[in-house]
Amino acid sequence: MSDEDFPESLEGIYRIQGRDFVDAGIISSEVKKSLQGKGIPESIIRRIAVITFEAEINIISYAEQGTIQLFIEPDAIIIEANDIGPGIEDIDLALQEGYSTADDSIRELGFGAGMGLSNIKKFSDIFELTSDVGQGTRLKSIVKLNG
């Protein structure tokens, strides 16, 4: 992506390393902090916090590396999560609550319950998920500011 492709509404790009469970949640905290003090309702900020946290945990759990981008538009907040990783073979199946490919090391930490993607969908107004197996996954979540 070249520089001119970045829209003005881009608030931040955050890089995430796969398997780095120690730092899990730090990106979500940064996203939350950058939304505070801008007149955005707390309820919207908490929805974004859930979406970002789950997207962050997914990249850490499954991908080699990835980024989360935060856009603040006049009428919506947009979260985009892109990763380099194994991708998702069957997106419909991955979206089913309870379905997970997490291993025991992930489950021991209280993750991998198969709720991450369905949580993101539930807390988004618009949700898009695409993937190329063996290459990576792209997720876009839009939360509208006008309800």
Instruction: Build a one-symbol-per-residue string for 110-129: x at contacts with other proteins by CB under 8 A, - elsewhere.
Output: xx-x-xx--x--xx------
Phi-psi group of 112: left, alpha or beta (phi > 0 → left; psi -120 to 50 → alpha; rest → beta): left
Q: How far is the CB of 110 from other proteins (least distance, A)?
A: 4
61 vs 82 by CB, closer to other proteins:
61
Q: How far is the CB of 143 from other proteins (least distance, A)?
A: 15
Q: How far is CA 33 from CA 6, 121, 128, 136, in A?
A: 22, 22, 25, 28
DSSP 30-92: HHHHHHTTTT--HHHHHHHHHHHHHHHHHHHHH-SEEEEEEEE-SSEEEEEEEEESS--S-HH
94 vs 133 by CB, closer to other proteins:
94
Q: How far is CA 115 from CA 19, 48, 106, in A?
A: 19, 16, 13
1 vs 22 by CB, closer to other proteins:
22
Considering only the stretches 8-16, 72-80, 105-113, 132-140, report the one whose residues sit in contact with other proteins under the rule CB under 8 A. 105-113
Instruction: Build a one-symbol-per-residue string for 8-47: x at contacts with other proteins by CB under 8 A, - elsewhere.
Output: -------------xx-xxx-xx--x---------x---x-
For 128, the enclosing helix (H) or strand (E) is strand 126-132
Q: Which positions touch other proteins (CB under 8 A)? A: 21-22, 24-26, 28-29, 32, 42, 46, 49-50, 53-54, 57, 109-111, 113, 115-116, 119, 122-123
